[in-house]
Amino acid sequence: MTLDDINKLDLKTLADWPLPTKLAALVLLCAAIVMAGWWFDWRGGMTQLDAGKRKEAELRQVFTTKKNQAVNLEAYTKQRADIEQAFGALLKQLPNKQEMDALITDVNQAGLGRGLQFDLFKPEGEAVSEFYASTPITVKVNGGYHDIAAFVSDVAKLSRIVTLHDIAMEPAKTGVLSMDATIKTYRYLDEEEVIARKQAAEKDNKPGKKKAKEKKK
């Protein structure tokens, strides 16, 4: 069949068309129906199907993760208990509020016990964190090299946690060194202090409080 033959076809005489022409027309009609169905209906369904498959893969991954956690729940529980026990042991190395003065005295006595001369021993303001507070002490001591080294070692051996920062040493005179440093002592916050800090943080985070702060800025 040529293009001229196709142009001569008339739908009114469809029943008289040759069989090959009828079959060709039927194939074209089916193809048109399939394309129309794809464009107006199936295309959106396929997009939803792909999205559903992706969601299914994500849910399977979440299920696998949750399943593994459930299987290892006993091990996780034991691990958490071990961490809490270790944290408690570390916490006990920090003095409470009442013991801080004694700790500061111990640091001072450690230097005097080594024959060091304190030109400066000044506790600064306390810095409070979430679970603990630290007190920096600015010190300046004079003494022999070995005496200063022994003092640093004695401070490190204290039963409570004490750290040295910003150490600077220079000769003061023959055989004598001058050391400037910041010694930090730490204490844990008691339960009342922790609760008070949480309440203060919640109060600051209230919408009205935030808006007032923004207006001030």
- Which tokens is 106 given? 């111990």
Burial class (CB in 10 A: 0-12, 13-18, 19+), 107: buried
Burial class (CB in 10 A: 0-12, 13-18, 19+), 161: middle
Per-residue pLDDT of the chain (217 residues; tens, 9 = 90+): 555 555 555 556 656 666 676 677 777 777 777 777 767 666 666 677 777 788 888 888 888 888 877 877 788 788 888 887 776 676 666 777 777 788 888 888 999 999 999 999 988 888 887 778 888 999 999 999 899 999 999 988 887 788 899 999 998 877 789 999 999 888 877 777 777 777 777 777 666 555 555 555 5
d(CA 69, CA 51): 27
Does pTM top 0.85 for this prediction? no
**Which residue ranges make up each domain of the chain?**
18-71, 97-190
CATH number of 97-190: 3.30.70.60
